[in-house]
């Protein structure tokens, strides 16, 4: 079984979305982890917009990268430039992939405008993760 880590700055939103979709699309083909270089807690709006798409991430936790130094990852996916550039030394032979998704937690405006940004990022993450799983985990 493959081990996949999604890494973001605070492990609160983008990496949580990706973890949810990885678990959904990969099912039993991989063990999925997510972490941050900091720990900010799972964003309630991320939980809400994933529920709109039928994915429950309410039991996911915000974890620090240091918790996983001993896991032999096959893939490490960074989902923001800051995490890719600021991650401490992480000993791994994993294939490293990167995609910088917009941070919906930084969205401003009305509640509707903010939620629209969360949905937009969710949809981008979903498409990326579905493609990743089809190309790397379904073989």
Rounded Cα distance between 101 and 129, Å, is 12
Query: Which residues sit opposite 3 in a β-bridge?
Result: 31
Active site residue 13: no
C-alpha dist (Å) from residue 107 to 3, 42, 68, 89? 32, 16, 30, 30
Q: How many CB atoms lie within 10 A of CB 116?
A: 15
Rounded Cα distance between 7 and 14, Å, is 9
Closest CA to 46 of 36, 32, 34, 60: 60
Catalytic residue among 4, 8, 79, 133: 8
Burial class (CB in 10 A: 0-12, 13-18, 19+), 5: buried
Please give the positions annotated as active site.
8, 80, 87
């Amino acid at each position: 079984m493959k081990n996949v880590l999604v890494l973001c700055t605070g492990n609160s939103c983008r990496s949580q979305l990706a973890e949810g979709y990885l678990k959904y699309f990969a099912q039993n083909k991989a063990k999925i982890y997510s972490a941050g270089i900091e720990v900010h807690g799972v964003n309630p709006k991320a939980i809400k917009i994933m529920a709109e798409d039928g994915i429950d991430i309410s039991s996911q936790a915000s974890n620090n990268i240091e918790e996983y130094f001993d896991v032999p990852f096959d893939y490490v996916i960074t989902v923001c430039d800051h995490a890719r550039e600021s991650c401490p030394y992480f000993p791994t032979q994993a294939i490293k992939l990167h995609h910088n998704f917009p941070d919906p937690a930084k969205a401003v405006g009305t509640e509707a405008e903010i939620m629209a940004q969360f949905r937009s990022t969710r949809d981008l993450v979903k498409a990326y993760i579905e493609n990743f799983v089809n190309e790397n985990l379904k073989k």
